[in-house]
Amino acid sequence: MKNYDRKYFDHWYHSGAAVVKPELLQRRVRHAVAAAEFTLGREIASVLDVGCGEALWRAPLKRMRPGIRYVGIDSSDYVVRRFGARRNIRKGDLARLGKMALKRPFDLVICSDVIAYVSLPDLRRGLAALRKLTRGIAYIDAYTTSDDFVGDRQDWNHRSEATYRKAFAEAGLVSCGLNCWIAREQLHLLSALEHC
């Protein structure tokens, strides 16, 4: 069983093995913020980051939109103990997201590099909860069996594109391109060609 402790984060995020370099992270943040703001027609005010780890997205988000309300969710005891209070990270995970006391939807929901590491039932439950918490755009990324990637392959679930697309559709999430998803009930915010 994988342990998301300091050793794990030091290896995958702070060493030569790190695959998400600062420039890639910055591009992802700019892209997700732009997509959410385009969809909402205003600047984002709130962000939920599920599986946030050490909250790498938080600093670039705060630089772009200093007043945003950022909430991070992570299953790592190490992360919550070390960064929880300073970075507003709460203990939790994708599977139990729907049972957490997150009452209001968020302008931008992030679930980056998470869904490939959970079971299919947990993925389905988590995506349904994400949909309910998304007011604007959900940025959700994962690699499929047809993708070649460098990174953590321990406990990685080998899933096809079709499996993911089916899970997203069942959860009521509609693709609007480049890892961005919108809740089916929010489709009125986009024109027909702006979603798939």
CB 9 within 8 A of CB 78: yes
Beta bridge partners of 175: 181
Question: Would you say residue 165 has pLDDT above 80?
Answer: yes
pLDDT at 89 (0 to 100): 98
User: Which residues have C-beta within 8 Å of that of residue 121, sequence separation ≥ 6?
Assistant: 95
Of the ranges 84-98, 142-156, 182-196, which one carries the lowest mean pLDDT score?
142-156
Q: Between the CA of residue 15 and those of 18, 20, 62, 85, 116, what are the distances in Å?
A: 6, 11, 24, 25, 22
* Crossing angle of helices 77-87 and 6-14, rounded to 10°: 70
Q: pLDDT tens digits, residue range 56-89?
A: 999 999 999 999 999 999 999 999 999 999 999 9
DSSP code of residue 65: S
The predicted model scores a pTM of: 0.95
**Where do the domains of the chain lie, and which CATH numbers do they carry?**
6-194 (3.40.50.150)
pLDDT at 183 (0 to 100): 97
CB 124 within 8 A of CB 96: no
Instruction: Say which residue, 4 or 1, is predicted with more confidence.
Output: 4
